[in-house]
Structure 1
């Protein structure tokens, strides 16, 4: 079978007729399938159902005997912080266990910087004429939503398999003094699955930049592995300190895809000065986190080994789904040269690139056939993919059978969109 670009006009018209018929049959099925968001499946959530019986009646004190039903302890339970300290490479005194959403913490950190500035800031960020963030692309749409919502200018830089293009980042930091932040998902990056190398991480914390420039190190998938090839965690705070920029990095993580997506625990880590800065502002909006939820997580996960064992059970449920993505795309798209995709070793997404100018049309065709996919352009700032090529695939939530149905229909939509474009 020849690639689409190698077919004659007559062959393209014949294929278009076949794909049009296939697409009509797909629409006729009346599907209602959703692969838009990286949500855990019900079976994954069931893995944590023991949480619902914890901490148990009368069991509301921590190891120090503190009554966790009351106010206080804004840093969160030391026991829970200890479990995740090594995973995140953040010392326990510099790691906070907070509410259920790391995204909320990221949002609040940006707002605090806008309203009050960071320890090194000459003035609050909101008093600067322009504040800019570097955004590796394709990247996480909810990161971009925060900065866009708060009026922060976003500057895209290309992702590589080893992390952001350091040369681009270095050039931007040298040329643009308005840059105050950078989004990073260092392990199994959303959506490409890239894993930052230590070389890239060391470069990012070493580059000359504004004194209050911060890397937002969102380690969302630190324990979400799909293979036995588990990357060694990067001690980003130590690297920053060695580079003479100890305050450069904010570390974020959560148990949202470890236990319950809506009732987990989020973490914030950084230098001692940054942690003190954060706590000084957080104290105004909260007297302390939900420590009973933290206690049940300590009792459920127990230790770092317990986290690893629990995540192996997650892997057993979702690894077949990622395998299915590769199998369907290889069978349906490869023979036509109709796309390229990542094969991540962890995380929750597959990044698919179709022919330039076809992503939006393919997603619209899929939607008309009852298959909901993340909108084209979502992995770029302002929803503008300059190539109109990237589509994020989220395979975890549907059943395997539903996922294969959605992928098959998506491939029909992609092929039809690409043939339409070639026919002009």
Structure 2
């Protein structure tokens, strides 16, 4: 129960988490261990916690709390992650959709929105294997996020690095470290990076990770010290003993990729066989992550999901990948090949293809009636 630094993990203390594990997991967030705090099993919980700090206490001692009653807007690259959007919706923020491109959020849109509006306080980002598109942010996108001029001095990037080692073929890393780039740009406090081992070890007993500037970490720690006397260090020690090095994590993730890769291949094969060349659907071909982003004909996603549910196959709700659950074109569906067994997955995707065709025919008949 004692780690290599002499810390008895059964006891209180070590608010940042045990040092050995912070060093081990540092590559997941691109920061040195002194700029990392380890949490419980949920990185989403840490995101909510940091967001609440902004609402109640403000980003720093010079900034007013976001919860003063003035309008707060938050940028939401879409299609994106519904649980991100749900946090900022719950807090009463105005959620502003931003188009996703093959290189990340449309930075022309982002820069235009932040340039003249002080109520735009932040943006959600998933830079590696973005949920659900699987996009990896380009060097240009990351640099523009770090360097862009914002009217709000307390603008913050909530960077959820949920899939940093969740490759299907080979380990992909970002060409630019967003925390380092923000520091170069003179915006060292702009970004919070979150990650976790929930999809590396076990979802219910992983380790959440928060990294940021030293100033942000000290500020968060001040609040955290009033919430808890210390994290679950025994679980942290279990992780440290399970993985002796970061390479051990990569070897472990290669084994996971061997399980998941055939599932993604099956989805792509069936979609190609049933839908390619018909002009009624397109989908992403991710090299990692957990999802495939599927677009059917405009105005057909809800109907497609409804027909599938009527025959016993349930997909993520149409619109879930957009703020407020409202896809303006009603065309995007998030596919999660990771969840079902292979035979069930085959059946589900075949059903999806049939439902896409039926919904498309209905739409064409309705349009031409």
Same fold (TM over 0.5): yes
1:156 matched to 2:97: yes
> What is aligned with 2:327?
385
TM-score (norm 2): 0.97
> What is aligned with 1:212?
154
Q: Using the alignment, how far apart are the partners of 1:61 and 1:75 within structure 2?
A: 16
Q: Using the alignment, how far apart are the partners of 1:383 and 1:99 within structure 2?
A: 28
1:326 matched to 2:268: yes
Q: Using the alignment, how far apart are the partners of 2:115 and 2:8 within structure 1?
A: 51
Q: Using the alignment, how far apart are the partners of 2:162 and 2:172 within structure 1?
A: 15
Q: Contact 1:87 / 1:304 at 8 angstroms: preserved in 2? A: no
> What is aligned with 1:190?
131
1:276 matched to 2:218: yes
Q: Using the alignment, how far apart are the partners of 2:108 and 2:58 within structure 1?
A: 28
Q: For the structure 1 residues 410 and 376, does the alpha-carbon distance in structure 2 shift closer, same or farther, using more than 3 Å as the test? A: same
> What is aligned with 2:109?
168
SS at match of 1:278: helix
2:75 is aligned, of 134, 139, 143, to: 134
Q: Contact 1:74 / 1:289 at 8 angstroms: preserved in 2? A: yes
Q: Contact 1:341 / 1:352 at 8 angstroms: preserved in 2? A: yes
Q: Using the alignment, how far apart are the partners of 2:85 and 2:124 within structure 1?
A: 9
1:115 is aligned, of 32, 36, 56, to: 56
Superposed CA deviations along residues 335-378 of structure 1, whole A, max 9, x for unmatched, are: 42220000001000000000000000000011111111000000
> What is aligned with 2:364?
422
Superposed CA deviations along residues 53-95 of structure 1, whole A, max 9, x for unmatched, are: xxxxxxx111122211111100001111111213421111001
Q: For the structure 1 residues 68 and 229, does the alpha-carbon distance in structure 2 shift closer, same or farther, using more than 3 Å as the test? A: closer
> What is aligned with 1:91?
32
Q: Using the alignment, how far apart are the partners of 1:346 and 1:152 within structure 2?
A: 31
Higher RCO (C-alpha 8 Å, min separation 6): 1
Q: For the structure 1 residues 290 and 181, does the alpha-carbon distance in structure 2 shift closer, same or farther, using more than 3 Å as the test? A: same
Large movers: runs of 4+ above 4 Å: none
TM-score (norm 1): 0.85
Q: For the structure 1 residues 233 and 254, does the alpha-carbon distance in structure 2 shift closer, same or farther, using more than 3 Å as the test? A: farther
Q: Aligned pairs, how many? A: 365
- Bigger Cα Rg: 1
> What is aligned with 1:57?
none
Structure 2: tracts of 5 or more residues without a match = none
> What is aligned with 1:63?
4
Provide the aligned C-alpha RMSD in A.
1.1
